[in-house]
A = this chain, B = another copy of it.
Amino acid sequence: MTSDALLTSPPTPVDTPQDRLRRAKDAARSVARLTSDEKRAVLHAIADALVARRAEIVEANGEDLVRGEHDGIGASLRDRLRLDDARIAGLADAVRQVAALPDPVGELVRGQRMYNGVMLEERRVPFGVVGAIYEARPNVTVDIAALALQSGNAVVLRGGSAARSSNTVLVSVMREALSAHGVPADAVQSVDAFGRDGARALMHGRGFVDVLVPRGSASLIETVVTESTVPVIETGAGNVHIVLDVSAPDDWARDIVVNAKVQRPSVCNAVETVLVVRAGAERLVGPVVAALQREGVTVHGDATVASLAADVVPATDEDWETEYLSLDIAMRVVDTLDDAISHIRRYSTGHTESIVTADVRNAERFLDEVDSAAVFANASTRFTDGSEFGFGAEVGISTQKLHARGPMGLPELTSTKWVGRGSGQVRR
């Protein structure tokens, strides 16, 4: 039996995904009661164990990479899948950073003395069991588990099958560190071994899964949102816009567009479409396009853009809908700020939009009327990020309006409960 077969051996017949959810729910009670000190100790033990067992992790990851090459997955996917000593050290550091974050559990959200003397308070409590469905990125396995534990939750993971050998070792490293600290190992579980049934159990785990976070492609998120009967927090997709107003200063327009596209094109807060208000187009389009092209960006423009700059690829309606996540950008000239806002209303995924303008009325109108998780005036869209906002770590960026909107930190992985202390009060 090879190490791979051992690692991914099927579960015994009595072990079902539902059994694992049930055990996670039981374990959640223990995790919820851990003190901040205890959680910090567990997370540091996990970080240390990741480093100590890096050879084993790299070996398992090697099996995933070989299988991936055999299955013909692309180079960029293989790069995201790869773990080496340096990346494992980075993973361990990330866990230690989570351990250093303030513990959200127990925070007094609000409270009052009721009219009848009952002392009422709303306290932050863990959700219980957090589910996560994601793609073949083994770092997410450790990230989400650390965030869930620090916020007092148990976690059930379903990662992409291409990372299954890596994930099996990573989960076992975390479970052993939990056990060594007297915390039930079942606080961190994987349902990878059950394939699609594992994902289905998570999506239909009412009464066992308190919140489910999908992380990955738009289609993965769409599937999870559509199929789940448990509460889901939708994250991610970003068809992000920047509007260049008539009064946009030349340097701000150029620097913000270039930064938002080029600084890290593959992430959800990178800009995808630039809308230029017509009266400013002649002044702005040429220099902005040239600055983008100097950084290797392909500009997909409408006819007006093409008439004002060289080497512009003709844009179609499809370009307005596309989240390129690459060194491509769409650019359109619109008649008015109203038209820009209408374009955004039609095509935006509600993640982040920014306006560059010197006109305070237009800035405020844009900030007020554009209905996205984050709206900026005169700043790069790349700032929509948990670390940039000072949250220390990020669970994801919520593009829904329920529960959390924008970058989610640890408090977004908790709920609250009302606690009332009386002395015999009854209702009249």
- A residues apposed to B, CB below 8 Å: 29, 33, 112, 114-115, 118, 120, 122, 125, 127-128, 206, 210-211, 225-226, 229, 231-233, 249, 251-252, 255-256, 258-260, 263, 363, 367-369, 371-380, 382-384, 388-390, 400-403, 405-407, 415-427
Contacts and interface: CB of A to CB of B under 8 A. Distances in A.
A388 B388 CA distance: 40
Contacts of A255: 424, 426
B377 A420 contact: yes
Residue of A128, A249, A376, A420 most packed against chain B (CB within 10 A): A420
Contact of A112 (B382, B390, B400): B390
A420 B383 contact: yes
Contact of A402 (B120, B231, B263, B418): B231
A298 to B, nearest CB: 21
Contacts of A226: 229
A334 B150 CA distance: 35
Contacts of A112: 390
A32 to B, nearest CB: 8
Contact of A426 (B115, B225, B256): B256
A237 to B, nearest CB: 12
23 contacts: A114-B383, A118-B376, A122-B406, A125-B371, A127-B401, A211-B402, A226-B229, A231-B401, A252-B423, A252-B424, A256-B426, A259-B426, A363-B421, A367-B419, A372-B417, A377-B420, A377-B421, A379-B421, A382-B426, A383-B420, A388-B427, A401-B415, A403-B403
B252 A376 contact: no
A183 B255 CA distance: 41
A384 B418 CA distance: 9
Nearest to A225: B229
Contacts of A122: 406
A259 B116 CA distance: 15
B420 A374 contact: yes
A377 B117 CA distance: 13
Nearest to A375: B419
Contacts of A127: 401-402
Contact of A403 (B373, B378, B402, B406): B402
A383 B415 contact: no
A395 to B, nearest CB: 13
Nearest to A112: B390
B405 A417 contact: yes
Given A390-B112, A427-B382, A416 B420 contact: no
Given A256-B426, A382-B427, A403-B403, A33 B231 contact: no
A376 B422 contact: yes
Contacts of A417: 371-375, 405-406
Contacts of A29: 369
Contact of A422 (B118, B379, B400, B427): B379
A367 B382 CA distance: 43
B418 A373 contact: yes
Contact of A379 (B206, B415, B424): B424
Contacts of A407: 418
B418 A128 contact: no
B259 A378 contact: no
A37 to B, nearest CB: 17
B427 A380 contact: yes
Contacts of A115: 390
A375 to B, nearest CB: 6
Contacts of A256: 424, 426
Nearest to A403: B403
Contacts of A419: 367, 374-376
Nearest to A234: B231
Given A114-B383, A115-B390, A367-B419, 5 more contacts: A379-B424, A380-B427, A383-B420, A406-B418, A407-B418
A226 B233 CA distance: 16
